[in-house]
Structure 1
């Protein structure tokens, strides 16, 4: 059996991720959003986060990357930062009215893009695909922290 690097899960998932990013960026840009913004903005909207540290943990990116993203979101008028009364060294982060007004359309565009990308998948296939991706991500998280996959434990 010849091993084909272009047929590996890592490569195929990378290609799919790039396709999703291109699709999402094209649909979100007219609304004033970057695709990377949405998880953070939804976390703020839903009250799951209120600080840069919270957002970095939820979105699963490093603090410096989150700081850069927050600077862009603030520049774009999507968030505002205010001093944290409990900790003078940090800020509280909140959505602006403009972000709140445009976020539903952005989420709808993202969901429609996902539905379009899964065109031809049955509901059962789509659910199985998502479950498999969740399992894959859990395996990768375990491996990244020095653990093993369940199969090899």
Structure 2
């Protein structure tokens, strides 16, 4: 019999939904959606990424990313500029508003992480995150086959 209490997939999905809703609540005052926040994380790390690069880094569908970028442009978070080399691509560049949200948005996300990990000692936090990274890597490798 399947017991969801011991299913890594069920528990990861449940945890992801809870993280999603908590993040959504914490960044709502910034007029951000979780998908926009995830995209901003990548652009704060490397501004000017193309849609294809964001799709690859965030492991989302092309259509989903296209819609997210459209909303981000509408909301004044990014500007879409011609790519200097590939005329079929556009660079997604942060606006001043997009750059200025980095501190408050990452603080909101850090708050969610702190709530989720409260009661875990530093070793447990490190171990949990490393186990999550390994699990993600395993699933990404399996997806390629």
Q: State the partner residue of 2:74.
A: 75
Larger Rg: 1
**In 1, distance between residues paired with 2:96 and 2:88?**
25
Please give the residue correspondences for 1:7-26 in structure 2 after superposition, counting only pairs within 5 Å: 7-26=6-25
Q: TM-score, normalised by structure 2?
A: 0.91
In the alignment of these two chains, the number of paired residues is 145
Taking the aligned partners of 1:132 and 1:48, their CA distance within structure 2 comes to 29
Q: Which residue is equivalent to 2:30? A: 31
Q: CA deviation at 1:93?
A: 1.1
Between the aligned partners of 1:88 and 1:130, the Cα distance in structure 2 is 39
Match of 1:44 in 2: 43
- Structure 1: runs of 5 or more not aligned: 147-153
Structure 2 match to 1:101: 100
1:18-43 superposed Cα distances (whole Å, 9 cap, x missing partner): 10001000001111211122232122
Give how far 1:5 is off: 3.3
Whichever structure has more helix as a proportion of its residues is: 2
What is the RMSD of the two structures over their aligned residues, measured on CA atoms?
1.6
2:129 aligned residue: 130
